[in-house]
Amino acid sequence: MATSLKNLSDFSQTEVADAAAFRFGIVVAEWNAEITQALYDGAYEALIQHGAQEEHIKTIKVPGTYELIAGADMLLAFKNYNAIICLGCVIQGETRHFDFICAAAANGIAQVAIKYNKPVVFGVLTTDNLEQAKDRSGGKHGNKGVEAAITAIQMASLQHELAI
């Protein structure tokens, strides 16, 4: 597997834009809270590290990954954010529920981005087990929350550049 030897959150070769001028919303699922809190911590720290101002970061919590869609929509409906970061974790179980939630979340988050013409970042882990989730929320494969924050910064910067 390509990820077995790689920290996916290594952005040392990437020039990340300055986030100081942008407003970010973060929507965090409470289901699998141990994992989603680690994703949130990584995302928040990455935003701050790249210049985002604390007062320009709004965080809301929703019950689960499926509700990330409505949370992102609500944030964009009530305030002008440059990007929204959606953080969740769905771990494969014995039923097809996993498939339905993952597909709905991915499609719904994309639809919110299209509806508002704003970056809405899919920072959702879809893993086979808890160990894989831990590996991708601050473990040996990095932190998907950091990746989502960098994506949000880069996309907000791109949209700003294109608007000039």
* Domains detected in the chain: 22-38+54-128 (3.40.50.960)
Residue pair 152/83 in contact (Cβ under 8 Å)? The answer is yes
CA distance 88 to 102: 10
| pTM confidence score | 0.91
Position 8 scores a pLDDT of 53
Q: Is 50 a catalytic residue?
A: no
Which residues of the chain register pLDDT less than 50?
Answer: 1-2
How many angstroms separate the Cα of 99 from the Cα of each of 8, 16, 18, 127?
24, 33, 37, 11
Position 2 scores a pLDDT of 44
Which listed residue (50, 56, 97, 160) is catalytic? 97
